[in-house]
Structure 1
Amino acid sequence: MGVDIFIYIGGFALLDTLSPTIIGVTLYLILTDNQRLTSRLFSYLLTVAILYFSLGIIMMLSLNYILEMFSDLFQNKIISWLLLIIGIILFVASFFVPTNKNKKGTMLKPKTQSLLSIVFIGLITFLIESGTALPYFAAIGLLTTNNLPYYYWLPIIAAYNIIMILPAILILLCYKLFGRWGNSALVNLQQKISSSSNSALSWIMSIVGLILIFYTVDYL
């Protein structure tokens, strides 16, 4: 496994840090719940990270099996052309993602103050974002095609998920350090994320589309 694989996977992980849902819920908890903030936020982040980690393991195991069965199929020019077309569609479609003009936006909010409610929000976050987790799927695909043993790819997936939730942890640390001094900045950040959540999706679609295009050109 070369250094370039780590660079690609690290880049995908950084793309996943742009999750508007995770950052949005983090900001909501910080701005509305100061008493049990740390325990509630970490319960939420751990729920999301554990679910994504479990998904990564399932995908690694299943993709290995599928690739062994259809290894010749993926060398087919038809498949390469199909992936190229998908990449072009993603790249072009990224320019047409509608802008959210609603300044308030939509955000997942816990209905009660219980930890169970926070865990449920983490589950909903996973269900919403796992279907469009293109960088995560691309990273799993790279790991799978390199035929790594489990003791290599397990810590890589774990590190990926830590990087994914790292911005939320950094926001919490900044809040703990600066307290109310940074409240106005957090409110502004929350409003920007709520009103432009589709921008992150647009960037992710365009970058993943370009990666698919460049990756398949050599096989045409």
Structure 2
Amino acid sequence: MDLQLVISVAGLALLDTLSPATIGVTIYLLLTEKKQLLSRLSIYLITVALLYFLTGIALMLGMDMLFTAAATILQNRIISWSTFIIGMILFIMSFYYPEKKQKQLPQPKSKQKIAMVALGVTTYAIEVGTAVPYFAAIGLLSTSELAAFQWLPMLAGYNLIMVLPPLILFILHLLLGRTMQRSLEKLQMTLAKHTGSAVSWILCIVGLVLIFNSLDYL
């Protein structure tokens, strides 16, 4: 397996950890849940990761021909210029993406296990349409002609990396306990005020990827 491919997919997975939704829900649970924190947080994160994983499998199995055709189309000079322009637009937009001004992140009204599943589904439904790094990673895997036993672990690893920040917060919460309380509260407010920052970084990086990938065909 190509090491450069593994590094590229891992880099895109790290970019996907910038999602403020899963981190925001995790912080809320850490601040309010005491008795069943592990089980409810696990249910939420597993739901999100599993839905993304199944989406990735569906795309890999059903859309590999589409990605191959797209790679061929990108060699067309007109398409390459269009891709370059789109990349430039995304890059410029990243500097002007508005930050949200709300004081708090949305919080689940109920912390029952079924509510955690519903919250995971909601998070997935809201964010999957803007999961540009994930679709880029699937595109790389699809055009690399890997066997299923090769791309399945990479896809699973991608989704594991994607939920690492909430897991790290949970471990730190176990180790540090109450000393993390103020830090979590500050982080919650920061996420609420700067939700747009993560999106701006994604727009910037994806824009640069489109620009550099189109240069060879201009």
TM-score by length of 1: 0.94
Contact 2:105 2:191 in 1 (8 A): no
Sequence identity percentage = 48
Kindly indicate whether residue 147 of structure 2 is the aligned counterpart of residue 149 of structure 1: yes
Cα displacement (A) at 1:78: 2.2
Identify which range, 46-55 or 145-154, moves more after superposition.
145-154
Runs of 4 or more, structure 1, over 6 Å off, are: none
Alpha-carbon distance in 1 for matches of 2:65, 2:20 = 33
Residue in 2 that maps onto 1:106:
105
> How many aligned positions are there?
218
Pick closer, same or farther for the CA change 1:78–1:105 going to 2, 3 Å: farther
After TM superposition, give the deviation of residue 69 of structure 1 in Å.
Answer: 5.4
Corresponding residue number in structure 1 for 2:135: 137
Unaligned runs of 5+ in 1: none
Code of the aligned partner of 2:28: Y
Aligned-partner residue type, residue 96 of structure 2: F
1:55 aligns with 2:50: no
State the one-letter code of the partner of 1:174.
L
Match of 1:174 among 162, 172, 175: 172
Aligned equivalent of 2:5: 5
Distance 2:36 2:71 in 1: 51
Distance in 2 (CA, whole Å) between partners of 1:157 and 1:69 is 22
| Stretch of structure 1 that moved more, 76-85 or 161-170 | 76-85
Q: Tell me the residue number matched to 1:215.
A: 213
Of the three residues 174, 190, 202, the one matched with 2:188 is 190
In structure 2, the residue matched to 1:20 is: 20
Residue 22 of structure 2 aligns to a residue whose secondary structure is helix
Structure 2: state its 5+ residue gaps. none
The aligned amino acid for 1:106 is L
Could you say what the CA RMSD is over the residues aligned between the two structures, in angstroms? 1.4
1:202 is aligned to: 200
1:75-106: CA deviation from partner (whole Å, max 9, x where unpaired): 3222222221221111111111112233x143
Contact 2:68 2:143 in 1 (8 A): no
Q: How far off is 1:133 after superposition?
A: 0.6
